[in-house]
Amino acid sequence: MKNQDYVEDRHIALYCRVSTDEQAREGISLNEQQERMKAYCRAMGWGDNFLLFIDDGYSAKNLDRPKLTKLLDEVEKGTISKVLITKLDRLSRKLKDLLNLIDIFNDHKVSFISIGESFDTNTSPGRLTLQVLGAVAEFERERIRERVVENMQHAAKNGKWLTQSPYGYDLLDKELVINEQESQIVKEVFDLYLQKGLGFYSIAKKLNERGIPSRQKKEWSIRSIKLMLTNPVYKGTLVWNRIDRSKQKQVEKDDEEWIVVHHSQPQIIDVDTWELVQRTVNKKKIPSRAKTSPHLLGGLLKCGRCGASMSISWTGTAPNRKRVYRCSANKNKGICTSKPYKANDVESWFKHGLLQLSQSINESYVLLLADQFLGEEKKDMTQQVQSAKNRYKRKVEAYTAGLIELEDLQTEKLRMETLIQQSKNKQETISVNIEELERKVNDKFQTVIDALDTLPIVEAKALIQTLVEKVVVFKEREIEIVLSIPT
């Protein structure tokens, strides 16, 4: 390292910074900062041997700023004698970062001067003043943040929308208003996923091919489609304080910290449809490659001998190569003795079996589906109640440890009791319209059967997956078709 005692003509570094928000809110000007520092240098008799370092549009929440980095490089090289700023928070708002910078300056015999606070770190009083002012500034910043969070929590509990509006809505006076054109796309996305069986990728591709832009005027992606399908705002529910963004990597908070306000926003998707979509999203997914493969039962076919998936293989040589479905446990591990089956034969058995099933739908089968549906509904409600009880238990522990106030504990208890009562009422009144379910089953069968011979394989497969959970091959012409509940 170069010895600064022997460096001639060391410069005075004038550091300026302003964020976009600060300039708009407080009128802080980069030119004003420069003029103040130049005038200070002239008043002190230091002349004009200075270098300007200007970070325009950067926040002081961290030190990742290009001109600050360049300034520190010059300090390391020994070309800087003083670092001059107009105010402490131009350099950093965090005491820890400030002290780290001061240590670097001291190591290289560079003094740090703030005009606004009138101190020089070359002196002991200056260093003491810096630490005191830094601590006060950080304390005040934390208090401001706490007040902002409290105000936002109050607004959220009253149903006010606190961020930019999601696709399908416009934001007017902190309230969401349905955008009629975009809301039709939202409804179509839910229909494509739930009724047509298309995945996130296929839906995004379809919208992009039609030239429909997302809210940011960008192309749709797998992530944007998934976020839409899982956003509770579309059923009229506001959820806030779900994500912790205070760290570099965003993480989801415990659900007891969320602010959830039901029936507080304009509804685009009915609650039942939204819940069915969540159930489908959370199911074990068929791999994307299987969904888009040009083979009708790819991702659905299972081995009747060992239960493993069956995938496409090829036998013979060109031009007489033939497709076969082969057990993956046999193909990859050699631990199953199941034989391969000609793909055309298996797909023909499946079509015939599906047609037979459609003709044998009766009241007993529909009642079985109804029982299955009711069982899943009750299971969901039981899980919600258990989650509420767990949240209340954690609040009791927090209250016992003196971490929260009694009012917080009472609010959580009321929330739990309300959910338990709502669940009890729903379980007493929940029912299934048998005639409506039977109509849905028959319509779904007819739609899938028609699709088998008319639609491209990828689209036909998507429809099949809305009706069929899996297909099991036991031996020649002996297959089992396991149906899911039609939605």
- Which residues are identified as catalytic? 19
- Assess contact for 183 and 268: CB atoms under 8 A: yes
Listed residue (181, 225, 227) closest to 204, CA to CA:
225
Number of other CB atoms surrounding residue 204 within 10 Å: 21
CA distances from residue 121 to 82, 103, 131, 195, 433 in whole angstroms, order as listed:
10, 10, 10, 69, 79
With a CB cutoff of 8 Å and minimum separation 6, the contacts of 270 are 235
d(CA 237, CA 156): 11
Listed residue (273, 264, 325, 272) closest to 300, CA to CA:
325
Tokens 């703030």 correspond to 114
- Assess contact for 329 and 335: CB atoms under 8 A: yes
Q: Is 316 left (phi over 0), alpha (psi -120 to 50) or beta?
A: left
Secondary structure of 61-82 in HEC code, one letter for each residue: CCCCCHHHHHHHHHHHHCCEEE
d(CA 423, CA 384): 9
With a CB cutoff of 8 Å and minimum separation 6, the contacts of 470 are 300, 301, 302, 482
Q: What's phi and psi for 214, nearest 5 deg?
A: -80, 180
d(CA 242, CA 486): 32
d(CA 76, CA 79): 8
Q: What's phi and psi for 374, nearest 5 deg?
A: -65, -40
d(CA 44, CA 113): 12
Q: What share of the chain is helix, strand, coil (3-state, %, to 5)?
A: 55, 15, 30
- Based on its alpha-carbon atoms, the radius of gyration of the chain, rounded to whole angstroms, reads 33
Tokens 């609010």 correspond to 411
Q: Where are the alpha helices (DSSP H) in 108-215?
A: 124-157, 180-194, 200-209
Residue at 292: amino acid letter: T
Angle at 235 between CA 233 and CA 240, to 5 degrees: 30
